[in-house]
Structure 1
Amino acid sequence: MKKVAVLGSGAWGTTLGQVMVDSGQQVLIWGRNKKVVREINRRHSNRKFLKGIDLPKELKATTDIKAVLEFADVILLAIPSQTLRENLDSWKSFFPRDLPVISTLKGIEVQTQLRMTEVAGEVLGIDKSQFGLITGPNLANEIIMRQPAGAVAASENPANIEIMQEMFSTNYFRIYPSDDLVGCEFAGAAKSVIALAVGIAVGMGYGENTQGLMITRGLSEVARLGGAYGANPLTFLGLAGIGDLVASAQSPLSRNRSFGEVLGKSGSIAKARAQVVKTVEGVYSAGAMLELAHRVGVEVPIIEAVSDVVAGTLSPKDAMTRIMTVSIKAEI
C-alpha cells in the first residue's frame, strides 16, 4: 500500500483518487477550495466537478498542503498545467525532494515552452529520474463511473513505472508501461491542439472525412515534432498518442473539442471563452507547440493554424483554407 498525496481536488485529481483507493492505496487529496474539501470528507461527493457521483468513504481531503506532503510517500500532480510553476514556487521550501513525483498534466508552459516534468524539475531541483507520468485516453467522467479504460505509465526510471502500475491497476483501469517520457508528454500536450482543430471543423459544419483528415494529419505533425526532440515515433501510435487524441477529438466530454465547436460555429474566440468557462489546455499550448516546432524546423500546419485562430489573427474559415492549400508531400 502506498500513501499518495494528490495535489488537486478537481475532476481528474478526484477521479484518480478513487482509482487508487480501489487499487488498495491510502489517498489524501489537497485542494484550495474549502467547500469541495469539506464535501469530499463529509458527503463523499464532489458535485462541483463530478455531479451525481458517490465517492469512496476512504477518500480523504485537506486544505493543508504541508500536512498532505508530510503524509505522502508518493506525490501526484493534478493541478492545471499553467499554474504548476506558481504553485510549486510557493511550496518548494517544504516540498519533499526524495519522493517519486507523478504528473497527470497535459500541456506545455506558455512562457518557457517546457514540458510539465521539466517545469517541476526546474522549480524543485529534482532529477528527472524521480518523475513519472500517467496519461492516455482518460476522460474523468467515464473513469469515475468505473468504465473500462487504459493508460500509459511513463518514466525513464523503471522503479517509478512499477510504482504507478501498483497505484493505478484495477479491474477497470489497465496500465501499460513506457520508458518514453518525452514522447508521452508531447503526445498529451499536442492532442489538445489537434482536438481543437477537429472541434473547429465540426463547428463549421464539416463531417467525418474532415475530422479524419485533422486527426491523422495532426497526429503526423505531432509524431514528427516529438521525434525531433528525441521521442520514439511509435509512442504516437499507442494509448498516449492516437488513443488520447481520438478520445479528445471525438468525445463531447472533451473541453478542447467543445471549445473548438463553439469557435468554429461562432468564428469568435471571445464567444468560445464565454461559453466554455473551464480550462481548455489546447488554447494555451497551441502557441507553445508552434514555438517548439519552429526551433527544430518541423512543419506543423494544423497546429500553426490553430495557434493563429486562438490568437485571434486568423478566422476559422481562413484557417481551413490555409490547411487545404499547404503543399503536399509524401504521406509517410
Structure 2
Amino acid sequence: MRKVAVLGSGAWGTTLGQVMVDSGQQVLIWGRNKKVVREINRRHSNRRFLKGIDLPRELKATTDIKAVLEFADVILVAIPAQTLRENLVEWKGFFPTDLPVISTLKGIEVDTQFRMTEVIQEVLGIEKSKLGLITGPNLANEIIMRQPAGAVAASENQEIIDLITDMFSTNYFRIYPSKDLVGCEFAGAAKSVIAIAVGMAVGMGYGENTQGLMITRGLSEVARLGEAYGATPLTFLGLAGIGDLVASAQSPLSRNRSFGEVLGKSGSIVKARQQIVKTVEGVYSAGAMLELAHRVGVEVPIIEAVSDVVAETLKPKDALDRLMKVSIKAEI
C-alpha cells in the first residue's frame, strides 16, 4: 500500500482517488475549497463536481497542503494546467523533490509553451527520472461509475511506469506502458484543441463526415508536430492519441467538444464561456501549440483555426471555409 497525495479535489482528482483506493492505495486529496473537502470526509461525496456519486469511505481529503505532502510517498497532480506554475511556486519551499510526481494534466503552458512535466522540472528542480504521466480517453463521469477504461502510464523511467501501473490497475481500469512522455503530453494537449474544432462543426450543423475529417486531420497535425519535438509517431495511434481524441471529440460529456458546439452554433466566444463555466483547456492550449508549430515550421491549419477563433480574430464559419481551401498535400 502506497500513500498517495492527490493535489486537486475536482472531478478528475477525486475520480483517480477512487481508482487508487480500489487498487489498494491509501489516498489523501488536497483541495482549497473547504466545503468540498468537508463533504468528501463527512458525506463521502463531491456533489460540486460528481453529482449523485457515493465515494469510498477510505477516501479522505484536507485543505492543508503541507500535511498532504508530508503524508505522501507519491504525489499526483490534478489541478488545472494553467494554474500549475503559480501553485508550484507557492508550494516550492516545502514540496519534496525526492518523491515520484505523476502528472494528470493535459495542456501546454500559455506563456512558455512548456509541457506540464517541463513546468514541474523548472519550478521544483525535480529530476526527469522522478516524473510520470497518466493519460488517455478518460472521462471522469464514466470512470467514477467504474465503467471499463484504459490509460497510458508514460515516463522515461521504467520504474515510474511500473509504479503508475501498480497504483491504478483495477478490474475496470487497465494501464498500458509508454516511454514516450513527450508524445503522450503533446497528444493530451492537442486533443482538447481538436475537440473544440469538432464541436464547432457540430454546432454549425455538419455531420459525421466533417467530424471524421477534423479528427483524422487533427491527429495528423499533432503527430507531425510531436515528431518534430522528438515524439514517436505511433504514440498518436494509441490510447494517448486517437483514443483520447475520439472520446473527447465525440462525447457530450467533453467540455472542449461542448464549448466548440456552443461556439459553432452561436458564433460567440462570450456565449460559449457563459454556458461552459468549467475549465476548457483547449482554449488556452491552441495558441501555445500554434507557437510551438511555428518554431519548427510544421503546418497545423486546424489548430491555427481554433486559435484564431478563440482569439476572436476569425468566425467559426470562416474558419471552416479557410480549412477547406488549404493547399492539398499527401494525406500521410
Q: TM-score, normalised by structure 2?
A: 1.00
1:180 positional shift = 0.2
- SS of corresponding position for 1:109: coil
C-alpha distance in structure 1 between counterparts of 2:183 and 2:307, whole Å: 21
Pairs within 5 Å for 1:27-38 = 27-38=27-38
C-alpha distance in structure 2 between counterparts of 1:151 and 1:224, whole Å: 22
C-alpha distance in structure 2 between counterparts of 1:111 and 1:331, whole Å: 32
Runs (4 or more) in structure 1 with deviation over 6 Å come to: none
Pairs within 5 Å for 1:275-314 = 275-314=275-314
Q: What residue is the counterpart of 2:42 in the other structure?
A: 42
Q: What residue is the counterpart of 1:12 in the other structure?
A: 12
Question: What code does the residue aligned with 1:229 have?
Answer: Y
C-alpha distance in structure 2 between counterparts of 1:276 and 1:102, whole Å: 28
Q: What residue is the counterpart of 1:71 in the other structure?
A: 71
C-alpha distance in structure 1 between counterparts of 2:323 and 2:127, whole Å: 40
- SS of corresponding position for 2:109: coil
Q: What residue is the counterpart of 2:219 in the other structure?
A: 219
Q: What residue is the counterpart of 1:190 in the other structure?
A: 190
1:129 positional shift = 1.0
- SS of corresponding position for 2:247: helix
Question: What code does the residue aligned with 2:155 have?
Answer: S
Q: What residue is the counterpart of 1:274 in the other structure?
A: 274
- SS of corresponding position for 1:93: helix
C-alpha distance in structure 1 between counterparts of 2:136 and 2:197, whole Å: 19
Pairs within 5 Å for 1:151-230 = 151-230=151-230
Question: What code does the residue aligned with 2:105 have?
Answer: L
C-alpha distance in structure 2 between counterparts of 1:162 and 1:41, whole Å: 30
- Provide the alpha-carbon RMSD of the alignment: 0.3
Q: What residue is the counterpart of 2:259 in the other structure?
A: 259
C-alpha distance in structure 2 between counterparts of 1:329 and 1:34, whole Å: 54
C-alpha distance in structure 1 between counterparts of 2:283 and 2:303, whole Å: 11
Taking only the aligned residue pairs, the percentage that are identical comes to 89
| 1:101 maps onto 2:104 in alignment | no
| 1:54 maps onto 2:54 in alignment | yes
- SS of corresponding position for 1:92: helix
Q: What residue is the counterpart of 1:133 in the other structure?
A: 133
Q: What residue is the counterpart of 2:331 in the other structure?
A: 331
C-alpha distance in structure 2 between counterparts of 1:316 and 1:21, whole Å: 43
Runs of at least 5 residues in structure 1 that lack an aligned partner in the other structure: none
C-alpha distance in structure 2 between counterparts of 1:121 and 1:180, whole Å: 17
Q: Deviations over 1:14-62 (max 9, x none)?
A: 0000000000000000000000000000000000000000000000000
- SS of corresponding position for 2:94: coil
Question: What code does the residue aligned with 1:207 have?
Answer: G
C-alpha distance in structure 2 between counterparts of 1:282 and 1:11, whole Å: 18
Q: What residue is the counterpart of 2:241 in the other structure?
A: 241
Question: What code does the residue aligned with 1:184 have?
Answer: C
1:127 positional shift = 1.2
C-alpha distance in structure 1 between counterparts of 2:299 and 2:129, whole Å: 31
C-alpha distance in structure 2 between counterparts of 1:47 and 1:116, whole Å: 28
- SS of corresponding position for 1:263: helix
C-alpha distance in structure 1 between counterparts of 2:152 and 2:303, whole Å: 24
| 1:150 maps onto 2:150 in alignment | yes
C-alpha distance in structure 2 between counterparts of 1:9 and 1:322, whole Å: 41
Question: What code does the residue aligned with 1:286 have?
Answer: A
Q: What residue is the counterpart of 2:25 in the other structure?
A: 25
- SS of corresponding position for 1:309: helix
Runs of at least 5 residues in structure 2 that lack an aligned partner in the other structure: none
Size of the alignment, in residue pairs? 332
C-alpha distance in structure 2 between counterparts of 1:57 and 1:275, whole Å: 33
Q: What residue is the counterpart of 1:112 in the other structure?
A: 112
| 1:315 maps onto 2:315 in alignment | yes
Question: What code does the residue aligned with 2:284 have?
Answer: Y
